[in-house]
Structure 1
Amino acid sequence: MNKQLKVLFIGTYVPKECGIATFTSDLLNSVSGENNDVHCEVIALSDPSETYNYPEEVVFQIQKEKLEDYYLAADYINQSDADIVCLQHEFGLYGGNAGDYIFALLSGINKPVITTMHTVIREPELEYRVSTEKLIRYSEKLVVMSQTAVDMLKDVYKAPEDKIEIIFHGVPDYPFNNCSKYKKMLNLKGSPLVLTFGLLSKNKGIESVLEALPDVVNQYPDLIYLVLGATHPMVKKTQGEAYRQYLKNKVSELGLENNVVFHDKFVEKEELCNYILASDIYVSPYLSREQIVSGALTYAMGMGKAIVSTPYWYAQEMLSDNRGLLIDFGDTDGFKKSLSYLIENPEECDNMRKKAYDFGRKMTWKNVGKKYNTVFGKALMNYNTYPGIQNRFYFLPIQLPEVKLDHLKLLTDDVGIIQHTNLGVPARRYGYSTDDIGRALVALTKLIDNPQKVEEFRKIITTYMSFLEHAQTDTGHFHNFMSYQREFLDEKGSEDTLGRAIYGLGHVISCSYLSRNIRTLAHTLVSKSGPEMENLDSPRAKAYAMCGLYEILRAGIDIDEFESVFNSCRDVVKPIDTLVDRDYFESIFISHADSLVDLYEANHKEDWNWFEPTVTYSNAKLSESLLLAYNYTKNRTYREIGLATLDFLTEIQWNCDFFDTVGNQGWYSYNGEKPLFDQQPIEAGYLTQAYISAYEIVREEKYLELAKYSFEYFLGRNRLRTVMYDYSTGAVCDGLNSDGMNCNQGAEPVICFLMALSSLNEHTNKAFSTILQSRVSDGISDEALEKRKSLLSVKAE
């Protein structure tokens, strides 16, 4: 390779006392030591209770049960210069159901993944089958350590054969020698010295060996059986030392106190190797057949030990051709006979040792490192052969989805919109809200682009207007929440509620396709709200109100066209002396714009271009309102701050792959950490609207591109790679949580989706109108015109 290969390992890592941690460390050293052109780093798995002084190659840590860490690790990998990821996989290593948290990481990275599978299950329960099949899909190559594992991957999981590579578990490279040197070094006795080592747990089957020993030690009283290793940390956490104490009790019962020694400690690799080299016989009495690899057995073979083992899958394959003795699980008599045979037949024992040692030369870490580097090279070649492989959004539609109001209509009854659902079914106990009604009027009026649409939307818009008329208080404010029993639950809603009502009413007033009666009623409600609008403090309430007032101002509406209707029905509308004029609306509009400027000047810093010390909710609406203020007044301060804050929202949320919007688990404060969840679709909808407004005002192409990407958030371009939009009904899921998508489909997400979609459609229609106007002068045919129109549709890249 012409440049240094950079490999990022994922797994547990030393100094954690764990077999896979040791394996990962040895593999890293073998890969980098075999070739100076390879640079290795590690993402280490830890538990919350653990604190380790990791070596410098550990560049990132994941807390096993913290899903958010897996997403953050994916971001780290994508931003790193790593060429390839080498994942160590065992189900218990990762959090979630059958270790499925790891897929939050694997689904989000754009690097080839080589997975070393330390466990393969022949008869998996459903969750383990699903997890294994997903692992196969996400991996460029699968490394297993035995032919048995290869056969299971192909037969049970239908893994493609060209994805699978056999690379044996590595072993240190020691010369073949006798044991006396190392016994003396460690001050060990035993003739013979029988060894079992590894983290202690019930599946080790050590009691089977103990029960076999009395008859053997009667004949060979100098025999020592050394059980080396600490209790497995997870076993110790849940069961304490119950298994070790059980074994010690059995030793006492059998009268073996002088022949059995427990070394209760986790030994580092060099010391472990010395113990193995000092032993005469290694015993591997596992109780489970489904053991696809054993580092302990591999080490014993590589150092030329005589081996007695139960016939778990790995042992059956490794000890074939007389490289060891196999006896049945729990066969006490078999252990007794096998140990006696090896002691009584030293020549046969020595031949067995040599065969194991010779086979072990294939498994030295030097050879393992070479083979992994070869697999890395093949994986990179295959991965780079397909330029589109990193595009995870190929499934996005070529054109915008069609407008579907099925779900909105499902939520709408003769009162208003039911706020929430239970898995898509309207949940009546939550009642209705003015917040939803105001925004729904924005979405619907923006969708009315010709007179034919009016009849389609007339009933639903009339229902929503009826709700707002009923919700307005005597002071001009609005109640927000109404129960399903049609009782208002508050004296008045929040300031945001008032702003959202004005937002919707402004769009009704400016929609020339609607009847004059409906528009007059809307003007009446807004006029009555004037004093309340003047006294708003909430920045978002001001922004909402400005967006509604902008619609009235830009349309150049003269109250003369409404006064005749208003005067004719003054006796039936809520008391109001007169409709307010344009100048009054304009004064409120500019006053609010100026106050947002003041807020920005008070809070922004060199690296924090925002109105407040914290980025919270409905954020893009603040930026958009100032852009609209610029478009109306041409005050460049509004433009500069509107663009600066919108660009800031882009900077903190767009990662060049998808929008990672600020979650509401604590919000995002200056010098704080941005929460990843719970992400609300309203943020993506408002971003889309703001980007479209920015593009139409300043004509910078980047805003049109960003509008595409923010809208695609609904369609799967998000952190969870999950489609939130239901193409069949028009429903939208409520949000993205740390444990997956919130499958409820309430009013707010579908309304915000429709607002975003209507903004994009409106932009496309404007662009098409421009083409249409130049049709005659350009001589464009009908066929060419349709092609040009289709090109204006928002597409996935």
Structure 2
Amino acid sequence: MTPLRRIAVIGNSLPRRCGIATFTTDLQQAISTSRPTLETCIVAITDHGQTYDYPKAVALQIQDNKIEEYIRAADFLNAGRFDTVCLQHEFGIFGGEAGGHVLELLSRLTMPVVTTFHTVLANPTAAQRAVMERIVDASSKVVVMANKGRELLRSVYQVPDDKIEVIAHGIPDVALVAPDAAKARLGFDGKSIILTFGLLSPNKGIEVMIDAMPSILKRRADALYVVLGATHPNLVRDQGEAYRNRLMRRVRELGVEDHVVFLDRFVDLPTLLEFISMCDVYVTPYLNEAQMTSGTLAYSFGLGKPVVSTPYWHARELLANGRGVLVPFGDATAIGSKIAELLTDDVRRQAMCRRAYAVSRTMTWERTAEHYMSVFESASQGHWLKVIAPSNTGVPELRSPAAPEMQISHFLSMCDDTGLFQHAVHSVPDRSHGYCVDDNARAMLLACALNSPGEQPLSEVLTARFAAFVQHAWNPDTGRFRNFMGFNRTWLEASGSEDSHARTLWALGETARSDATPSRRQWAAALFAEALSAVETFRSPRAWAFTLLGLGAYCAVAPDDLHAQEIRHSLADRLMSCLASVETPDWVWFEEGLAYDNARLPQALMMTGAATQTPEYVQAGLRSLRWLMMRQTTPAGHFRPVGTAGFGELRQLPRAFDQQPVEATATIAACLTAWRADGDAEWKALATRAFTWFLGSNDLSVALVDPHTGSCRDGLHPDRANENRGGESVVCYLLGLAEIRQLARFNASLTKPAALRAMGA
């Protein structure tokens, strides 16, 4: 397995004052030091209206309320070829309803995502549930810091158990020391110190602990309660210091002002460790049990401090079995009694110190980083292999609605007595753009596909119409096919592009092999042979690939055409040369960039290699297709075709949008060709996954097709589907559907008893 080289952590970052910022910074530093060759960085979420002097580790920041910055961050991470992204999630740190803006980032990432949930709600709102479920879908693995988190993810959100990892909150690895020296350094010598630290807010229960102080002082007159931490910035923004002032007023009312100290500071790590070291008892009197994670609890426990806490989820697990002391929520009498007991029982208190320290050695940041790295490596290794689960027959199950019925009413509406229209306005044919040989050649391929068993063939009249268009496109004066024709049946050019010429050859080759009419098969073979020679001068790799696909069919019916055989090997060798000249360990491709119809290149090599018994062609096709599929698979495991926005970019990860049906269709065919080449059922599942892109398993969760008419939208924009339903889109969908229906029939045949299969039933 290739070692991970670049990891990005998304979350708040110091010097922003919050627990997520501390955790994100600590985690990034810990994983950075876990591997000498590893590069790490932070993508920091910045609360609107604020600015921070971020350290060098922060490579990019996102203003939480600016959705365009989430999109920019996805582009940054994709372009940077990060191996894994680790998202720190808390609903309140991202913009949008229930923090939904972060989905704009996750939906565009091309690498696996590992999400750490700092909060898992037992009773989420509808918006919170929707966001949570989409984050889970986008994540290869999810991490929680307590087993209660795992329980809630399984029971409330139906997350599979094998997707969940429980990793303890990391802690600094420091020696266990007595508190006296630190007390002296900090000016608290001779006091029995009770400590709470963290950002001050009403849910922390500080007022309960203040109310407990008179009872503690009756048994330990030297007790001092130190409240270390600045007021939460959000609270300051909304209410100023009203909460802190109420607490101080309560201290004065109880007459304990000499025994409660408020230190309004957000301290750095060394200072924090010094304060924890000096305390005799640490207390977390939180008021709400739904506290999944507490960094303050983890740090204090990890330094071997006796902890008295209310039974919120994290504390209930960490302090179980006598590792700490749990008291009821809001019960000042109970908390005062338990703290006084510890402060007056040195033997018990010190035994609890030693036990907490020993238990916490598995929680050091070094150990935590190793656990995270193991999860990252697992996510990276299995990233592109996340496919539909296999059925008990040993082949990937094709579940409904993965194979709808073949409906062609929209396709028929896009045709007139000349041929197939190029474009539509919504579902209405757009005559202003006329026709092209590209789409009519695709229509010929569809006619051939519908001649397979189990499908209803196109009418003879319609098939003849597409053939007539192709014949009329042939220009014997140039030896090339024209491409674009106006609605007035006037050709707009003398010769079309290399790619359109080659795609027409492909359609002719398939027609020569698969058309229902012997006469038309002969016509197609003759025109193929006449038009083939032009390809020898072509320079487009896609034109070579389309021609090779046509040659695969043509050579099956004209095995004695030696000229065709020579061109076949010549074009395959050209693709091999392209791959050899461009390929690197990170870029297993034929060109310096990705464009359209990408999967047709490896498909052509595999098909040619299988037909000519040339294993190196097959292996090159498999290798390059596997690389392409890794880049066309989202962290959530669904198919994301190469977006048009990235066409022409050199050695960059593909852009997410705009996504077009032609890419899904090419991928379906290529994956099924790979399956036939090496027999690995994984390819069938990948083909099925690419097909479900049409049905809504995509970045927007929007179905592209109307199964009742067979229409197909022209693609996906970043925020919506393209409502136009042109000729290319409908034919691509129907071609992909024909392949998937054929696969479904094959899978079904495997479940029949052997006797029925032998009879062909």
Give, in angstroms, the shift of residue 406 of structure 1.
Answer: 0.5
Matched with 1:125 is 125
Instruction: Find 1:616's aligned residue among 595, 614, 619.
Output: 595
Residue 516 of structure 2 aligns to a residue whose secondary structure is coil
User: Does residue 752 of structure 2 align to residue 786 of structure 1?
Assistant: no
The Cα offsets for residues 377-404 of structure 1, whole Å up to 9 and x where unpaired, read as xx99xx9xxxxx9875315347998794
Residue 275 (structure 1) shift: 0.9
Partner of 1:506: 508
Q: Show the 5 A alignment for 1:443-592.
A: 443-448=446-451, 456-462=458-464, 464=466, 477-479=482-484, 495=497, 498-499=500-501, 502-503=504-505, 506=508, 510=512, 513-514=516-517, 540-541=542-543, 544=546
Contact 2:672 2:683 in 1 (8 A): yes
| Mapping 1:339-738, distance limit 5 Å | 350-351=343-344, 363-364=356-357, 366=359, 369=362, 392-394=388-390, 396-397=396-397, 404-407=405-408, 409=410, 412-415=413-416, 426=427, 434=436, 435-448=438-451, 456-462=458-464, 464=466, 477-479=482-484, 495=497, 498-499=500-501, 502-503=504-505, 506=508, 510=512, 513-514=516-517, 540-541=542-543, 544=546, 605=581, 607=583, 612-621=591-600, 646=621, 649-650=624-625, 652-653=627-628, 664-667=644-647, 672-673=652-653, 682-683=662-663, 685-686=665-666, 701-702=677-678, 708=684, 711-715=687-691
Match of 1:267 in 2: 268
Deviates more, 1:247-256 or 1:643-652: 247-256
Post-superposition Cα deviations, 1:645-682, rounded to whole Å, max 9, x if no partner, equal 63563353256998987554425866554557766553
Task: Find the aligned partners of 1:711 and 1:128 in 2 and give their Cα distance.
Answer: 33
1:181 Cα offset (Å):
3.7
Seen in structure 2, the aligned counterparts of structure 1 residues 477 and 673 have a Cα distance that, compared at 3 Å, is: same
Q: How does 1:100-249 map to 2 (within 5 A)?
A: 118-129=118-129, 145=146, 181-187=181-187, 195-199=195-199, 227-229=227-229
Which position in structure 2 is the counterpart of 1:294? Answer: 294
Aligned-residue offset at 1:605: 1.6
Q: Matches of 1:716 and 1:250 in 2, distance apart?
A: 58
**Residues 594 and 642, structure 2, Cα contact 8 Å, conserved in 1:** yes
Deviations 1:741-777 (A, max 9, x none): 99998754653465467679999999xxxxxxxxxxx
Query: Would you say the 8 A contact 1:194–1:281 is kept in 2?
Result: yes
Instruction: Write the distance in 1 (CA, Å) between the matches of 2:428 and 2:669.
Output: 29
- Displacement, 1:444? 1.3
Aligned equivalents of 1:399, 1:123: Cα separation in 2: 32
- The answer to whether the 8 Å contact 1:477/1:492 transfers is yes
TM-score (norm 1): 0.56
Alpha-carbon displacement from aligned partner over 1:281-337 (angstroms, at most 9, x marks no partner): 767575756334434256567879898988867679999999587775xxxxx98x9
Given that residues 403 and 740 in structure 2 are in contact (C-alpha distance below 8 angstroms), is that contact kept between their aligned partners in structure 1? Answer: no
Computing the radius of gyration from Cα coordinates, the structure with the larger value is: 1
Whether contact under 8 Å (2:691, 2:737) holds in the other structure is no
Distance 1:116 1:616, change over 3 A: closer
Cα distance in structure 2, aligned partners of 1:786 and 1:539? 42
Per-residue deviation, residues 694-739 of structure 1 (Å, max 9, x unmatched): 99xxxx9438979746634435699x98798989667778778999
**In 2, distance between residues paired with 1:418 and 1:348?**
86
Alignment CA distance shift 1:10-1:265 (3 Å): same
Q: Which amino acid aligns with 1:125?
A: T
CA distance in 2, matches of 1:522, 1:326: 86
Q: Secondary structure at the match of 2:581?
A: coil
Q: Deviations over 1:262-294 (max 9, x none)?
A: 4533431x5424313435776757575633443
Kept in 2, the 8 Å contact 1:224–1:261? The answer is no
Query: Equivalents in 1 of 2:279, 2:582: separation in Å?
Result: 67
Once residues 135 and 662 of structure 2 are traced to their aligned partners in structure 1, the CA distance between those partners, rounded to angstroms, is 33
Change (3 A) 1:672 1:127: same
Is residue 751 of structure 1 aligned with residue 731 of structure 2? yes
Shift in Å, 1:88: 8.2
Amino acid at match of 1:477: R
**Pairwise CA distance, 1:460:** 3.9
Q: Report the residue type matching 1:502 in the other structure.
A: T
* Structure 2 CA distance for aligned equivalents of residues 14 and 465 of structure 1: 61
Structure 1 distance, partners of 2:653, 2:161, is 44
Whether the 8 Å CA contact 1:9–1:88 is kept in 2: the answer is no
Structure-2 separation of matches of 1:250 and 1:280: 26
Shift of 1:124: 1.2
User: Scaled by the length of structure 2, what TM-score is found?
Assistant: 0.58
Q: 1:47: which partner in 2?
A: 44
Aligned partners of 1:197 and 1:229 also within 8 Å:
yes
Match of 2:66 in 1: none
What do residues 424-451 of structure 1 show as CA deviations (whole Å, max 9, x unaligned)? x736569775333321211212432599
Counterpart residue type for residue 389 of structure 2:
F
Q: Per the alignment, in what secondary structure is the counterpart of residue 461 of structure 1?
A: helix
More off after superposition, 360-369 vs 319-328: 319-328
Q: Sort the Cα spacing of 1:231 and 1:533 in 2 relative to 1 into closer, same or farther, 3 A.
A: farther
Which residue of the partner structure matches residue 777 of structure 1? none
Quote the offset at 1:184 in angstroms: 1.5
Distance in 2 (CA, whole Å) between partners of 1:99 and 1:316 is 31
Q: Which residue of 2 aligns with 1:577?
A: none
Cα pair 1:86 1:116 within 8 Å, conserved: yes
